[in-house]
Amino acid sequence: MRDWPLGTTIGLSGGRRYAVSKSAYASGRSIKLVATELGGTDYISLNLYELAQAPRLAPCEMPLAKVLAFLSELRPEGKQA
């Protein structure tokens, strides 16, 4: 997720296409990622905080397992896995 470009990019995860928007705050120590399925109803929203102890992944009103599955398969459209 750290390597995902800022702004909105089309991505693939789980065989679905998403418009993925990434924003960075606090000099990059806080990242927000929102993904909306194109032609479908799926939605992913999360924050990643770079804390002194360790990074903290915070899903927004959805199970952590759903976010982890999405991130594990996420890649930019047109790029091989």
Q: State the DSSP string of 48-59.
A: EEE-SS-EEEEE
The Cα-based distances of 72 to 14, 52, 69 in angstroms read 9, 24, 5
Instruction: For residue 1, give the 3-state DSSP assignment.
Output: coil
Q: What is the mean pLDDT of residues 9-15?
A: 96
Contact assessment for residue 11 and residue 74, using Cβ atoms and an 8 Å cutoff: yes
What is residue 1's predicted lDDT score, i.e. its pLDDT?
74
pTM here is 0.89
Mean of the pLDDT values across residues 30-46? 97
With contact defined as beta carbons under 8 Å apart, do 31 and 18 qualify? no
Q: For 28-45, what is the mean pLDDT?
A: 97
Stretch 13-35: mean pLDDT: 96
The owner of tokens 């065989």 is 15
The span from the CA of 18 to the CA of 12, in Å, is: 6
